[in-house]
Structure 1
Amino acid sequence: MNRIDRLTAILIQLQGKKIVKAAEIADRFNISLRTVYRDVKALQEAGVPIGAEAGTGYYIVEGYHLPPVMFSKEEAAALLTGEKLMEQFSDHSNRKQFSLAMEKIRSVLRGTEKDYLESLDENIAVLRYRPPNLEAEQFPNRFLSDIQQALGMNQVISMEYFSIQEEVATKREIEPVGIFHMSANWHLIAFCRLRQGYRDFRIDRIRKLSVLPSHYHKNKHLSLQDYLEQQRQRNKGDTYLIKIAIDNDVMRYLREQKYYYGLMDEKVIGDKTELTFLQSHLGHFARWMIMLGNNVNIIQPQELKVAVGELVTELHAHYF
């Protein structure tokens, strides 16, 4: 980083917090404290009103920067929450870009809003269980920003993709259609030139990726929304309308579980609650029924009763 860029970045850093220690600046830019003192002096000589508190750090005099956009405390808190979510549900490339954007946003906040954010920062957490990443080198997890660039500029992507079904890596050129997040993973929908058709690629299975200088015609492809709607229509034939009745005193234990399994309707009938689901994975749903034991009665379909019966027989044979 050249000195002009560093001075600009230092100014943004100073605007982002009420007080910034010289050691923080030195650590961020990997420079000596002596260089920090020279850089701050250069900014002061350029007319930036930077104050200093002995033993504390540097600060920008209140009122120096009049930002073109002002954020309310509620808006700033929403952005902070978004940053916490990005840390857990995005990849390394997007997290870095969002962090840089948040730094710029913090730089235009008033002192009271900065204090408010710093207080909230310690009291907001987004937790997500992640198993040990044994494939960190094999799947780098840093391609989301490049994919977004390709989508925005209609550029072809070259990548090495590992197929879970085939357990083999192939090199492909694709024309990206869109990305979406589902079931804890990011997915890339693209027209695959190798397979000559649309494919759903899990982004965490990409080993290598580069954005090529060549472009494609976006209007010759489906939109992401059209593709997803086609998939929904295609899967309709494999779905089951399920009705079950559960004891009312057990319902409080289900909470969000019922929504996870595709709840469509819920009504209380006497001492039981009748639930209606739309579900494509009958075996998965049957295992949930096993967990509920004799507190649930299956009304329909017959296929679900058969699936549960087979599981019970299998368990009985295993344990007795």
Structure 2
Amino acid sequence: MNDHYLKKIDRVTAILTQLQSKPLVRAQDLAEKFEVSLRTIYRDVKTLENAGIPIVGEAGSGYSLMDGYKLPPVMFTKEEVLSFITAEKLMQKFSHQSLGNHYQSAMEKLRSVLRNSDKKLIQNIENQIDIFDYHQKPDDSIKNIIPTILESISDKRQLKMNYQNVGGEIHERIIEAVGIFYEFNFWYVMAYCTLRKDFRQFRIDRILQIVKIENSFSQEYGKISDHRTTGNGEKIIVKLLVDKKIMGHLVNSKRYYGLIDEVETEEGCVLTFETEWIDEGFPRWLITFADYAEILQPESLKIKIKKLVDRISQKNEF
């Protein structure tokens, strides 16, 4: 079967989904959605009719399925339908652009199997749910980047990419992807870098070009969490005595900066970290709540914090 017929099957199936999810579908809208001519849409609709799908309407007005015709007979509770709406709002705000079209297509298929009463419920309630996101999403020049990464994991094929680091330098890397994750408002790919011979995480919005290559790999890398704590430098043990009243503000970030132990005492919470970011990352994070924390060890961290505070004071002299 050639690509032409495969594309036609996919398009005809998608048209059926559109007919199931909406009360009336115009041929012009279908032609724009699938980027084909009106004549092609008319032929696709005729194909559905010849297959026994009861379509009401005609070219020029719009099409709909005969009332009562449902495929397949899936039933959802009202609570499940409401959860779909909430999940859709979250995905609209936080999903990567390369997943947007695929998710929208999946939601259309889901809506297509709902009862009319559930469709009315969605119509009435979806404008009453919103997610306010104060972080601007970067513009992604690559529209299929995350699916490409996930396909490479499934196929066990290496990826070649052009990656721009924080300093603006562009390097070519060949990686073996482990998985993707979302953190601090950005998507990342965790991968084994064949150049560095070690695991690295790459921000997806800094990938300028990415393709699957023929090279395969057989190594089983496990889960993302197995590699996120793997560092590239020497690990330093840090102990802090932190005021209990601000612990609630450190719930997520303390794990990110290498928390390995937490003990509550009368004086406060003793937090123990194992970090390789002792020179820059950890001191700059610590200074955001340094007035509520005492450095127990190492002494070198106290010196770094003092130097950082001195630089801030010099930059902001009154």
Bin for the TM-score computed over the shorter chain? 0.7 to 0.9
Would the aligned equivalents of 1:267 and 1:275 in 2 still touch at CA under 8 Å? yes
The DSSP-based 3-state class of the residue aligned with 2:213 is: strand
Would the aligned equivalents of 2:238 and 2:298 in 1 still touch at CA under 8 Å? no
Q: Tell me how far 1:143 sits from its aligned partner.
A: 1.0
Write the distance in 2 (CA, Å) between the matches of 1:119 and 1:74.
15
> Which residue identity is paired with 2:222?
S
The DSSP-based 3-state class of the residue aligned with 2:190 is: strand
Would the aligned equivalents of 1:244 and 1:300 in 2 still touch at CA under 8 Å? no
Write the distance in 1 (CA, Å) between the matches of 2:48 and 2:9.
10
User: 2:202 aligns to what?
Assistant: 201
> Which residue identity is paired with 1:227?
D
Q: Tell me how far 1:211 sits from its aligned partner.
A: 0.9
Write the distance in 1 (CA, Å) between the matches of 2:143 and 2:14.
27
> Which residue identity is paired with 1:78?
S
The DSSP-based 3-state class of the residue aligned with 2:128 is: coil
User: 1:288 aligns to what?
Assistant: 288
> Which residue identity is paired with 1:223?
G
> Which residue identity is paired with 1:245?
D
Q: Would you say 1:257 and 2:249 are equivalent positions?
A: yes
> Which residue identity is paired with 2:223?
L
> Which residue identity is paired with 1:146?
T
Q: Tell me how far 1:229 sits from its aligned partner.
A: 6.2
Taking structure 1 as reference, are residues 15 and 163 closer, same or farther at Cα in structure 2, changes over 3 Å only?
A: same
Write the distance in 2 (CA, Å) between the matches of 1:114 and 1:192.
47
User: 1:86 aligns to what?
Assistant: 91
Write the distance in 1 (CA, Å) between the matches of 2:110 and 2:294.
54
User: 2:79 aligns to what?
Assistant: 74
The DSSP-based 3-state class of the residue aligned with 2:133 is: coil
User: 1:161 aligns to what?
Assistant: 163
Unaligned runs of 5+ in 1: none
Taking structure 1 as reference, are residues 48 and 141 closer, same or farther at Cα in structure 2, changes over 3 Å only?
A: closer
User: 1:231 aligns to what?
Assistant: 230
Taking structure 1 as reference, are residues 255 and 16 closer, same or farther at Cα in structure 2, changes over 3 Å only?
A: farther
> Which residue identity is paired with 1:101?
A
User: 2:278 aligns to what?
Assistant: none
The DSSP-based 3-state class of the residue aligned with 2:72 is: coil
Would the aligned equivalents of 1:159 and 1:172 in 2 still touch at CA under 8 Å? yes
In the TM superposition, 1:1-320 aligns within 5 A as 5-30=10-35, 40=45, 43-44=48-49, 46-52=51-57, 58-67=63-72, 69-131=74-136, 133=138, 136-137=140-141, 140=142, 142-164=144-166, 167-219=168-220, 222-225=221-224, 227-228=226-227, 230-231=229-230, 237-238=235-236, 240-245=238-243, 257-262=249-254, 274=268, 277=271, 282-289=282-289, 296=292, 298=294, 314=311, 317=314, 318-320=316-318
Q: Tell me how far 1:237 sits from its aligned partner.
A: 4.5
Taking structure 1 as reference, are residues 31 and 153 closer, same or farther at Cα in structure 2, changes over 3 Å only?
A: closer
Q: Percentage identity across aligned positions?
A: 31
The DSSP-based 3-state class of the residue aligned with 2:287 is: helix
Taking structure 1 as reference, are residues 174 and 312 closer, same or farther at Cα in structure 2, changes over 3 Å only?
A: closer
> Which residue identity is paired with 1:161?
Y
> Which residue identity is paired with 2:187?
W
Write the distance in 2 (CA, Å) between the matches of 1:146 and 1:37.
33
Taking structure 1 as reference, are residues 147 and 33 closer, same or farther at Cα in structure 2, changes over 3 Å only?
A: closer
* RMSD over aligned Cα atoms: 4.1
Taking structure 1 as reference, are residues 17 and 203 closer, same or farther at Cα in structure 2, changes over 3 Å only?
A: same
Instruction: Summarize deviations over 1:110-136 as a string: whole Å, max 9, x none.
Output: 212222223333233333334484x75
Q: Tell me how far 1:144 sits from its aligned partner.
A: 0.7
Write the distance in 1 (CA, Å) between the matches of 2:87 and 2:174.
33
Q: Tell me how far 1:227 sits from its aligned partner.
A: 3.4
Instruction: Summarize deviations over 1:240-296 as a string: whole Å, max 9, x none.
Output: 3433337xxxx6xx6963424439879898xxx945555655523443236xx7xx5
Q: Tell me how far 1:196 sits from its aligned partner.
A: 2.7
